[in-house]
Amino acid sequence: MSEKISIKPRAMMYPAPAIIVSAYDENKKADACTLAFATMCSHKPPCVMIAINTTAKRKTLKDILLNKEFTLGFPNTQQVTETDYIGIASGYDKDKLEKVSWTTTESSNINAPIINELKVSLECRVINIVEVGSHTQITGEVVNIVADKEVLDDDGRISLKKLNPIVYDDVLYDYFEVGEKIDDAFKPGLKYMK
Amino acid sequence: MSEKISIKPRAMMYPAPAIIVSAYDENKKADACTLAFATMCSHKPPCVMIAINTTAKRKTLKDILLNKEFTLGFPNTQQVTETDYIGIASGYDKDKLEKVSWTTTESSNINAPIINELKVSLECRVINIVEVGSHTQITGEVVNIVADKEVLDDDGRISLKKLNPIVYDDVLYDYFEVGEKIDDAFKPGLKYMK
């Protein structure tokens, strides 16, 4: 057994995503911000949870709390520059989407903008909000998903390799791509079921 | 702009992790389960949030609710068989950790077991619990982190590439490895700040 050492407490997750949430402000202007604090959190109904810094200057948080609806999109590795910028800049100072030349279409299900350049977007209706620590945890029920055909497999399901999402490292502050498939899920472990 | 089509709502996250949470039962026996519903969720205090199926037969959920303390460890790609099994089997039927020949050491900070074979484990104290949809969302404050020296870089920080965590695809049910670094974070986006 190798030696274990204690290191300073901090939040970490391996892997963490780099996703983009988007919402309308009070003037129906689309805003967006990049987040790494996001996870699936319920099967029935299907939900995702995002956590946004409560005290930081986050226009998108204000907009989501206003509308109780948002979209969550997955940028790909070719969009890392835009994704990084949307995480750095504030929607109070700049029209971030215009700055990166991204466009939006209003969802036909919720009052939130879908970023056209993102290949997959979840349309979410807020069903729970709770402040914990420095962040506001927002659970959104996924009421619809829009996807570009090019990221779907022959059965109409999203292909991770075609989507090519960004992996974010919040410790060394790097972006990675997803690599090779190493195994099927719910299969290798069956050898221990005998 | 490529054509967008609507697909059936479901929870999804790209990338999602495959992590292992562990807790003691009422007899101080260590139990563990593999989860994909997990994220960082607060900087101050540092916290992670895990969501566990409320209705499914999950011994680890019961144990975490009992002790209000748990560990969250990151398996690597060489441990995918054990990780898969710990996600499939139930702690009510089997001693899953014994089955995969994994051992534990009690945390010196909390009443929870650290799985020795995992290279990095977060020691967490529960600070919030909320049931949303089919799952119980549990926020744990990270009070300590134990890491094997071999996954640290020269500055004592965790190296994602040395840790070699598992990426889980909850749509096509596959495991992947993290691939190449594509960029630094908080740097490429600066070009739009001008």
Residues of B in contact with A169 (CB under 8 A): 160, 185
Contact flag B39-A47 (C-beta cutoff 8 Å): no
Residues of B in contact with A85 (CB under 8 A): 188-193
Q: What is the value of ipTM here, to two decimals?
A: 0.97
Contact flag B15-A165 (C-beta cutoff 8 Å): yes
Report how far residue B123's alpha carbon sits from residue A11's, in angstroms, rounded to the nearest whole number: 11
What is the nearest CA distance from B112 to chain A, expressed in angstroms?
16
- Residue B6 gets the label, from left (phi > 0), alpha (psi -120 to 50) or beta, of beta
Query: Which of B61, B95, B76 shows the shortest CA–CA distance to B176?
Result: B76
pLDDT (average), residues B18-34: 97
Confidence of residue A183 (pLDDT cuts 50, 70, 90): very high
pLDDT (average), residues A121-132: 98
Over 70: is that where the pLDDT of B141 sits?
A: yes
pLDDT at A56: 79
Confidence of residue A168 (pLDDT cuts 50, 70, 90): very high
Which pLDDT tens digit goes with each residue over A33-47? 999 999 999 999 999
Q: Which value, in Å, is the radius of gyration of the alpha carbons in chain A?
A: 18
Any idea what DSSP says for residue A81?
A: H
Over 70: is that where the pLDDT of A114 sits?
A: yes
pLDDT at A91: 86
- Residue B78 gets the label, from left (phi > 0), alpha (psi -120 to 50) or beta, of alpha
* pLDDT, chain A, mean: 96
Nearest to A15 among B51, B99, B178 (CB): B178
pLDDT at B1: 58
One-letter amino acid identity for A146? Answer: V
Tokens standing for B162?
């040395």
CA distances for A119 relative to A12, A107, B51, B105, angstroms: 27, 14, 26, 44
pLDDT (average), residues A128-135: 98
Determine whether A21 is exposed, middle or buried from the number of CB atoms within 10 Å of its CB (0-12, 13-18, 19+): buried
Confidence of residue A92 (pLDDT cuts 50, 70, 90): confident
Tokens standing for B96?
């899953």
Contact flag A181-B168 (C-beta cutoff 8 Å): no
Phi, psi of A151 (to 5 degrees): -100, 5
The reported pTM is 0.97
Over 90: is that where the pLDDT of A148 sits?
A: yes
Which pLDDT tens digit goes with each residue over A170-182? 999 999 999 999 9
Any idea what DSSP says for residue B159?
A: P
pLDDT at B25: 96
Which pLDDT tens digit goes with each residue over B47-75? 999 999 998 778 999 999 999 999 999 99
Which pLDDT tens digit goes with each residue over B83-103? 999 999 998 888 999 999 999
| Percentage above 90 pLDDT, chain A | 93
Residues of A in contact with B88 (CB under 8 A): 186, 189-190, 193
Q: For the stretch A107-137, what's the b/e string if a residue is b when 16 or more beta carbons lie within 10 angstroms of its beta carbon?
A: bebbebbbbbbbbbbbbbbbebebebbbbbb
Nearest to A167 among B40, B85, B178 (CB): B178
Contact flag B6-A37 (C-beta cutoff 8 Å): no
pLDDT at A1: 59
Confidence of residue A93 (pLDDT cuts 50, 70, 90): confident
pLDDT at B55: 84
Residues of A in contact with B89 (CB under 8 A): 189, 192-193
